[in-house]
Amino acid sequence: MKAAINEVNFNEIQTEVLIVGTFKHPENTENWSEFVSFYGSSLNKWLKSGDVSTDRKVLTKLPTLQDGQLQRIFFVGLGDRKSLTQDDLRDIFGTVGKELVASKTTKVSIWLESFTNDDIDIEDTTYLAAEGIGMGLYQVPNYKTSSNKVDYYLDEIELLTKSDEQEVLAYFELGQVYAAAVNEARTLVNMPSNVLTATKMAEYAKELAEEYDFEYEELGKKEMEELGMGAILAVNQGSTEEPRLMVMKYRASDDWNDVVGLVGKGVTYDTGGYSIKPKDGLVGMKGDMGGAAAVLGAMRIIGETRPNQNVIAVIAATDNMISGNAFKPDDVITSLSGKTIEILNTDAEGRLVLADAVTYAKQNGANYIVDVATLTGGVIVALGMDKTGALTNDEAFFETFLEASVETGEFVWRLPLTENDKKRLRKSDVADLNNSPGRDGHMIFGGGFVGEFVDNTPWIHLDIAGTSAASTSHDLGPKGGTGAMVRSLATLVERMGEDK
C-alpha cells in the first residue's frame, strides 16, 4: 500500500473516500469552515439534526455533492473532544478499516488534524491511524473456491496534514509495521492444523529469520532426543508429524549478556491426548499455537525496527495427538532441565513443551524470559475472553511490561503465584513435579509449572487462551485470530532497549 502526504486542500483530493474526524463541536477543528464550504453548508444542518452523528464510534457515510474523483465522506463520530483516549482512537480507526473493506475502497484520504485533541497530537494520530486501520483491514484468508475469496486490497492512503512530511511518514510506517505483524500472527492462528504443521511453522520462522538477518537454529525430533528434551517429545509421541523447536537470535550488540527470551507455545493442534477433550472443546484447537504466533509477530516488528536489545525467540511446536505411541497419564518423563514430571493429564501439554523451550532459552543466554501461551481454560474462567492473564516472579520487569501493554491497549491482569501453589506443583510420589495439581485456580498451575523451569531469571508468563482468538468480530478485526501480545511484546523489547 502506498502512503502519501499532502496539505489539507479539500478541492485537490484525488481519492475515493475522505475520512473526517467529527468531534461534538467540530467547529473547533482547524480548517473546519473551509471543509464546510467545500462540502456544502447543508452539513451544519445535518450535524444539528444528528443525520451526521458526532457520537463516538458512529460512522456516517455520505456521498459528495460535486463531480470529481472523491465519491464519499466518512464522518467518524469522536464524541466529546476532551475525553477521547488513544485506545478509543485506535479502535475507531479499526472500525474505519473495516468499513473500507466493506465498501471495497481502494484509495482513501485521511484528514489527520480532524482527529487530534490536547492529549493526542498529530504523531499519535498518524501512528494510531496506521495501526488501527491496518488491523481493521485484516481479512481472514479462506479456502473458498468461488465466492467470498479475499480479493480486496487498499492501494493508497493519502494523509492530509500541515505537519512535517518526513516525521508523519515515519510514524505512519511504524504503525503499519505493527499492524502488519499482528495480521501475520492472526493468519497463522487462523490456519488449519493440517496446513500449519510444526514443520510448516518452522519454514515460516526460517524465512522470517532470513528476511531480518536473525541467527536461526531448528531442532527436529532427532536433535531433541540427543539433547534429552523429554517434555516436548512426550507431547509429540503420539503424532505422525515431527516436532520443531525454532530458535531466533536478534543481536543488538556484540556481547550476548543482556538477552530477553520470548518463548511461545506452538501446539498446532491440541486434542488433549488420552485425557481427550470433549467434541466441543476440540473445535478451535488449531489456534493452540497463538503464543508462537505472538512471538513470530513480535520478531517481525523487532526485525523491522531493530531495537537496542538482544532477543532470543524460542518456539516449541508439535501437535498433541492420540495413537498407540502417545504419552499417557501416569507416565513419568524427564525434561531437558533434568527435572522429572509425573503426567496426570495429557491435556496439560502446553506447560510441558514450554518447560523444555524455557530451559533451552536459558541455556542459550536468556536472562529475562517472557513465555506466551494459550495455556488454560482457567484464564478464561478467571478473566473472560478479553484479558490476558499474567504471572511473574519479578515486580520491576512486570512493571515495564505492564507499561508496554498499557501503551498498546492490550489488557493484561496479573494473578498471584504463591508458595502453596508451588508446593502443589511439586507434590508427586514418583517425580519432581506433576503437570496438573487440580482444577481450582488452574491458570496459576499452568503458568506456575513453567515458572519451575525459570528458577531466578526474571520471568513473565502470559496466558492468552482467552485473547488469542475472538469468537465475534470486534473493532480491530474480524472473528478469529487476534494477534494478541504481538504489539505488547515488541513494545516491551523496544522500551527495554531505550533504557540503555
Applying CB under 6 A, what is the total number of residues that bind ligand BES? 16
Among 139, 376, 388, 467, binds ligand BES (CB under 6 A): 376
Residue 497 to residue 368: CA distance in whole angstroms:
13
Judged by beta carbon distances under 5 to 8 A according to partner kind, the member of Zn ion, ligand BES, none in contact with residue 123 is none
CB 370 within 8 A of CB 262: yes
Q: Which stretch binds ligand BES (CB under 6 A): 192-200, 232-240, 373-381, 484-492?
A: 373-381
> Which DSSP letter does residue 446 get?
H
Strand stretches in 199-356, DSSP E: 215-219, 244-250, 259-270, 310-320, 332-334, 340-342
- Our answer to whether residue 351 is catalytic in this structure is yes
What are the residues whose beta carbons fall under 8 Å from the beta carbon of 37, sequence distance 6 or more?
Answer: none
318 binds ligand BES (CB under 6 A): no
Residues 279-298 that bind Zn ion (CB under 5 A): 288
Among 158, 347, 421, 475, binds Zn ion (CB under 5 A): 347
Q: Which residue has the cell 508427586?
A: 428
- Our answer to whether residue 306 is catalytic in this structure is no
Judged by beta carbon distances under 5 to 8 A according to partner kind, the member of ligand BES, Zn ion, none in contact with residue 117 is none
Residue whose C-beta lies closest to ligand BES? 377
Question: 90 φ, ψ to 5°?
Answer: -60, -50
Among 54, 64, 163, 374, binds ligand BES (CB under 6 A): 374
Nearest to 121 by CA among 174, 158, 84, 73: 84
Q: How many CB atoms sit inside 10 A of residue 279's CB?
A: 7
Q: Taking the C-alpha atoms of 77, 80, 86 and 87 in order, what is their torsion angle to the nearest 10 degrees? A: -70
Catalytic residue among 81, 286, 351, 387: 351
Residue 442 Cα distances to 285, 392, 439, 459, 485, angstroms: 19, 16, 5, 19, 21
Q: How far apart are the first and last CA of the chain?
A: 35
345 binds ligand BES (CB under 6 A): yes
The residue among 347 and 452 lying less far from Zn ion, judged by its C-beta, is: 347
Give the H/E segment covering residue 370: strand 368-373
Judged by beta carbon distances under 5 to 8 A according to partner kind, the member of ligand BES, Zn ion, none in contact with residue 345 is ligand BES
Residue 163 to residue 5: CA distance in whole angstroms:
9
483 binds ligand BES (CB under 6 A): no
The residue among 99 and 319 lying less far from ligand BES, judged by its C-beta, is: 319
Nearest to 470 by CA among 44, 222, 182, 257: 182
The residue among 349 and 475 lying less far from ligand BES, judged by its C-beta, is: 349
The residue among 267 and 486 lying less far from ligand BES, judged by its C-beta, is: 267
Catalytic residue among 57, 61, 206, 277: 277
The 295-334 contact track toward Zn ion, x by CB under 5 A, reads ----------------------------------------
Task: Please report, as ranges, the residues that interact with Zn ion according to CB under 5 A.
Answer: 267, 270, 288, 347, 349-350
Residues that bind ligand BES (CB under 6 A): 270, 272, 288, 345, 347-350, 374-378, 436, 442, 465
Q: Tell me which residues are annotated as active site.
A: 277, 351
